[in-house]
C-alpha cells in the first residue's frame, strides 16, 4: 500500500513536470510578402501525451501529424503545402519532436495559424503584404538615401550654426570686456579731470566774489558822491575809479578833454560874434565895421508887409 502511494505520487509529479517543461508552441514569422513561400515549425509535446496534432490556416485544416511520425495532408488544403516532416531533436526520450511545414504562400491580409492536439493548442497571427515593385523599391531606396544625405547635411549645418553662435558669443563677450575696460578708463580720466577742475572752479568763484565786492563798493561810492552834489564828470571818474580798471580811467580822461575843447571853441565863437572887431580886412586884421542906418520906416522889420506905412497923396 505504501509503495503504491509512492508510485502514484511519482507519476503525478512526472506528469506535472512534463506539462510545465514541454508545451505545444508555434514558431512563425509575424509578417511576410504575399504569395511568397514561407515556413513554420511546431514544437510538440511528449508523444505519450498526444496521438494527433492538426495544423490549420484560417480555420482550414492543412495536415494532421501523428505521434508515430507520420503526416497526412488534407486532400484539398494540403495541396498548398510544399513539404512537411517531423524531426526528433531528442532521441533518448519521448520529447523533442518538432514538426516543420513549408507553404506555397498566403494572399494579402492577416491570417491565423493554429495547432491543436490532445495536450493543448497554440496560435499565431501572420500579416501578408504586397511586395513593392523592383523599380519602385529602387526609387524608394534612392529617395531614402537622398533623405538620409539631407538629414546628414542638416545636422552638419546645425553644427556649423552652433559653432558660429559660439564664436559670436565669444566676440560679444570680448566686446563687453573691452567696453568694461573703456568705462573703467573713462571713470579714471573723469576722476582725474574733476580733481584738476575743482581748484580752478574754486579760483573762479573767488575772483567772481572779489569782482562782485568791487562793483558793490563802486556803486556805493558813486551813490555817496552823488548825494554830496559832485559833478557828472567827477561822478564818472569816481565810478571809473571804483571799477579800478585802466580802460575806464582812459575813457574818462578822453571824455573830459573833449568836453573842455568843445567848450573852449564854443566860447571863442560867441566872443567873436559879439565883438565890434568881428570883421577882418584882407590882411586878416580886425577893423570896425560901420553900422548902416535902418531904412525909413523900418525897425526890426517894420515898414514891410502888413506893417508897411501908407503913402499920403
User: pLDDT for 61-74, tens place per residue?
Assistant: 999 999 999 999 99
Which range is least confidently modeled, 144-158, 206-220, 289-303? 289-303
Alpha-carbon distance of 212 to 153, in angstroms, equals 83
Alpha-carbon distance of 215 to 222, in angstroms, equals 11
Angle at the Cα of 165 (from 159 to 169), degrees rounded to 5?
A: 145
CB burial of 60-99 (b: ≥16 within 10 Å; e: otherwise) equals ebbbbbebeeebebbeebbebbeebebeeeeeeebbbbeb
Residue in this structure with the C-alpha cell 566686446, named with its chain if needed: 175
pLDDT-based confidence at 231, cuts 50/70/90? low
Alpha-carbon distance of 248 to 236, in angstroms, equals 9
pLDDT-based confidence at 294, cuts 50/70/90? low
pLDDT for the residue 214? 85
User: pLDDT for 113-125, tens place per residue?
Assistant: 999 999 899 999 9
pLDDT for the residue 20? 42
Angle at the Cα of 120 (from 117 to 122), degrees rounded to 5?
A: 95
The three-state secondary structure class of 107 is coil
Q: Kind of pairing, strands 121-129 and 31-33? A: parallel
Nearest to 18 by CA among 118, 92, 119, 88: 119
Nearest to 64 by CA among 25, 116, 102, 119: 116
User: pLDDT for 83-120, tens place per residue?
Assistant: 999 998 888 888 889 999 999 999 999 999 999 999 89
Residue in this structure with the C-alpha cell 505545444, named with its chain if needed: 24
Angle at the Cα of 300 (from 297 to 304), degrees rounded to 5?
A: 50
- Cα–Cα separations (whole angstroms), residue 144 to 137, 140, 149, 156, 157: 10, 6, 9, 18, 20
Amino acid at each position: 500500500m505504501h509503495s503504491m502511494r509512492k508510485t502514484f505520487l511519482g507519476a503525478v509529479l512526472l506528469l506535472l513536470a512534463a506539462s510545465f517543461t514541454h508545451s505545444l508552441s508555434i514558431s512563425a514569422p509575424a509578417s511576410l510578402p504575399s504569395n511568397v513561400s514561407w515556413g513554420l515549425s511546431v514544437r510538440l509535446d511528449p508523444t505519450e501525451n498526444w496521438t494527433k496534432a492538426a495544423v490549420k490556416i484560417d480555420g482550414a485544416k492543412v495536415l494532421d501529424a501523428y505521434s508515430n511520425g507520420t503526416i497526412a495532408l488534407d486532400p484539398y488544403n494540403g495541396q498548398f503545402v510544399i513539404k512537411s516532416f517531423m524531426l526528433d531533436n531528442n532521441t533518448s526520450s519521448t520529447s523533442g519532436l518538432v514538426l516543420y511545414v513549408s507553404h506555397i504562400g498566403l494572399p494579402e491580409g492577416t491570417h491565423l495559424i493554429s495547432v491543436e492536439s490532445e495536450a493543448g493548442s497554440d496560435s499565431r497571427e501572420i500579416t501578408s503584404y504586397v511586395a513593392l515593385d523592383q523599380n519602385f523599391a529602387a526609387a524608394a531606396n534612392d529617395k531614402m538615401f537622398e533623405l538620409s544625405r539631407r538629414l546628414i547635411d542638416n545636422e552638419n549645418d546645425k553644427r556649423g550654426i552652433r559653432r558660429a553662435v559660439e564664436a559670436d558669443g565669444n566676440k560679444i563677450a570680448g566686446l563687453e570686456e573691452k567696453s568694461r575696460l573703456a568705462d573703467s578708463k573713462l571713470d579714471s580720466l573723469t576722476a582725474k579731470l574733476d580733481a584738476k577742475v575743482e581748484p580752478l572752479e574754486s579760483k573762479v568763484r573767488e575772483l567772481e566774489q572779489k569782482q562782485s565786492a568791487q562793483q558793490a563798493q563802486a556803486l556805493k561810492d558813486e551813490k555817496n558822491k552823488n548825494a554830496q552834489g559832485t559833478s557828472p564828470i567827477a561822478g564818472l571818474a569816481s565810478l571809473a575809479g571804483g571799477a579800478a580798471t585802466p580802460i575806464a580811467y582812459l575813457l574818462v580822461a578822453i571824455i573830459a578833454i573833449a568836453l573842455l575843447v568843445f567848450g573852449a571853441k564854443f566860447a571863442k565863437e560867441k566872443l567873436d560874434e559879439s565883438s565890434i572887431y568881428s570883421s577882418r580886412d584882407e590882411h586878416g586884421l580886425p577893423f570896425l565895421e560901420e553900422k548902416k542906418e535902418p531904412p525909413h520906416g523900418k525897425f526890426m522889420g517894420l515898414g514891410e508887409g502888413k506893417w508897411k506905412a501908407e503913402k499920403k497923396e
